[in-house]
Structure formats: C-alpha cells, structure tokens
Amino acid sequence: MSVGNSVVDTTKSSTKYKVIKWSIIGLCIAIGAPLAILLVKGLVGLILAAVIGLAAINFGPVLAMKFANQKVKMFVNEAKSNPIETLYNELAEKQEGAERFKKSITDFRTEVKNFEDKTAQFKKQYPEDAARFETQLATMRKLLAFREGRYKPPRHTEVR
C-alpha cells in the first residue's frame, strides 16, 4: 500500500503543481496582455505624435506664407473694387497712427521733464553720480528732439 500511496501522492503533487503553474500563467496573461496592448498603443501614439510634430514644424512656415499671400490678394482685390473707400480707410489709419505717435511724444516729453526735476534732486543727494545723471538726461533730450523731428501730422484733404 505504501507503494500505491506514494504514486497517488506524486500524482496529486504533480496535478497541484500544474494547476498552480497554469494559474500563474493565466494571471500573467490576464495582467500582461492589456499592458502589452497599452504599450503598443502608446508607442504607436508616440510615433504618430512625432510625425505630426515634425510635419507641423517643417510645413508650418509654408502654410503661414500661403495664408499671408492669400490675405494680401484679398486686400488687393478689395482695393481694386473699392479704391476710394480704401484710400479713406488708409488715411484714417495714418491719422490714428499719427495721433498715437503724437501722444507718445507728449508722454515722453513728460517723462523727460520729470527726470529733469529728479536730476536736480539726485545731484544734491549723489554728487559723485551727477555726470551720469546729466548724460542720461542729455540722451533723453536728444531722443525727444529726434522723435519730434520725425513727427509729421497727416495732411487733410477735402473731397469736393
């Protein structure tokens, strides 16, 4: 009987071993298969993103130029079909630009005057840096004179 029992015990152990082995294999497949699929999807997505990114980097400037050219063509066509209205709009834009430039000159003139007042105070507080303040003030005055020289008010023309 002992011979028979050892054979039965070995068969039971072998069966348990096979069940445990196949359970572990099944568990690994159940966990590993979705992970493998996600990994493959991720790699495909990464490759696709890289291709799209490179295409955008390489073809983006070309598309931007095409859109800019199309915009210019539309402006030209509109100007051809409505030349007088286009000129009025351009005049209005130039007048607005001149007014903004005039305002910036006025603002800068105010800054120069404020700095001029502060320079007098700074000279008293920091006499060793007085030359630097004077140099900066002279530069600001030159820039103001340059801007004032460049300002040209738009000519107003009357339509009859």
Per the listing, tokens 């030349």 go with 83
Q: 153: domain range?
A: 82-160
Tokens of 24: 């572990």
pLDDT for position 1: 45
Q: Is the pTM of this model over 0.95?
A: no
Distance in angstroms (rounded) separating the CA atoms of residues 25 and 129:
83
Residue 68 lies inside a defined structural domain of this protein: no
Residue 70 lies inside a defined structural domain of this protein: no
**CA-based end-to-end distance of the chain:** 130
Q: For residue 103, give the amino acid letter.
A: K
My answer on whether 12 and 55 are in the same domain is yes
pLDDT for position 51: 93
My answer on whether 126 and 86 are in the same domain is yes
- Given a cut of 70, the residues of the chain with pLDDT beneath it are 1-10, 154-160
Q: How many domains does the chain have?
A: 2
Of 115, 106, 105, 100, the C-alpha closest to 147 is 105
- Cα 30 to the center of its chain, rounded Å: 45
My answer on whether 144 and 101 are in the same domain is yes
Condensed to tens digits (0 to 9), the pLDDT of residues 55-92 reads 889 998 999 999 999 999 998 998 899 888 888 888 88
My answer on whether 22 and 55 are in the same domain is yes
My answer on whether 97 and 129 are in the same domain is yes
Q: Where are the beta strands (DSSP E) in 21-139?
A: none
What does DSSP assign to residue 127? G
Residue 74 lies inside a defined structural domain of this protein: no
pLDDT for position 27: 87
My answer on whether 54 and 93 are in the same domain is no
